[in-house]
Amino acid sequence: MFFTKKSKKIQWTPEAENLIKKVPPFIVNFVRKSAEREAQKRGHYQVTEELLQELAKRRSPHKSGEKFKLEDYFAKKTKNPMVGTFSEDSLTNDHTSKLGIGIPENSYESTWKTAAKQLDHDSPKALYIHIPFCTTRCKYCGFFVNGSVPGVLETYGEYVVRELDMIRNTPGISDKQFNIVYFGGGTPSDLSVNSLTEILKAVNKFNLSTDCEITLEGRVSSLSPEKIAVCQKYGVNRYSLGVQSFNTTLRRSMGRLSSREEIIPVLQRLHDNENNTVVIDQIYGLPGQTMDIWEEDIKTLFTECPISGVDHYPLILMPGTLLEDEISSGKISALPNAADRADMFCRSLEIMEKHGAKRISLKHFALDSRERNLYNCLQAYGGNCIPAGCGGGGAVNGYFFYQGGTLENYYEKLDDQEKPLTQIAPVTQEDRLMNQLSGAIQNDFSFSLDEIQQASKWTEFDLKECLFPLLQQYEECGLLSTEATGKIILTKAGQFWNNAIYQNLQTLFRNVRNKQKAAK
pLDDT digit string (tens) for 104-125? Answer: 999 999 999 999 999 999 999 9
Three-state SS across 108-121? Answer: HHHHHHHHHHCCCC
Contact 47, 36 (CB under 8 A): yes
Q: What is the pLDDT of residue 7?
A: 54
When pLDDT is averaged across residues 224-243 and rounded to a whole number, the result is 97
Q: What is the pLDDT of residue 6?
A: 44
Band (pLDDT 50/70/90 cuts) for residue 96 is low
In this predicted structure, the answer to whether residue 61 has a pLDDT above a threshold of 50 is no
- Higher-scoring residue by pLDDT: 89, 263: 263
Considering only 63-77, 141-155, 398-412, 468-482, which range has the smallest mean pLDDT?
63-77
Q: In whole angstroms, what is the distance from residue 30 CA to residue 130 CA?
A: 19
Contact 128, 392 (CB under 8 A): yes
Q: What is the pLDDT of residue 342?
A: 96
Band (pLDDT 50/70/90 cuts) for residue 93 is low
Q: In whole angstroms, what is the distance from residue 282 CA to residue 339 CA?
A: 19
Q: What is the pLDDT of residue 18?
A: 80
Query: For the residues of 1-50, what is the DSSP string, one character each?
Result: ----SPPPPPEE-HHHHHHHTTS-GGGHHHHHHHHHHHHHHTT-SEE-HH
When pLDDT is averaged across residues 142-155 and rounded to a whole number, the result is 90
When pLDDT is averaged across residues 83-93 and rounded to a whole number, the result is 83
Burial of 244 (0-12, 13-18, 19+ CB in 10 A): buried
Q: What is the pLDDT of residue 473?
A: 98
Give the type of residue at 212: C
Q: What is the pLDDT of residue 5?
A: 39
Helix (H) or strand (E) run with residue 326 in it: helix 322-329
When pLDDT is averaged across residues 306-322 and rounded to a whole number, the result is 89
Band (pLDDT 50/70/90 cuts) for residue 33 is confident
What is the average pLDDT value for the chain, to the nearest integer?
90
Q: In whole angstroms, what is the distance from residue 397 CA to residue 432 CA?
A: 12
Question: Within 13 Å and on the Cβ side, how many CA atoms surround 230?
Answer: 18
Please give the share of the chain, as a percent, with pLDDT higher than 90. Answer: 73
pLDDT digit string (tens) for 430-469? Answer: 999 999 999 999 999 999 999 999 999 999 999 999 999 9
In this predicted structure, the answer to whether residue 25 has a pLDDT above a threshold of 60 is no
pLDDT digit string (tens) for 322-379? Answer: 898 888 888 887 788 889 999 999 999 999 999 999 999 999 999 999 999 999 999 9
pTM, two decimals, is 0.90
Q: In whole angstroms, what is the distance from residue 359 CA to residue 356 CA?
A: 9
At 207, give phi and psi (nearest 5°). Answer: -80, 90
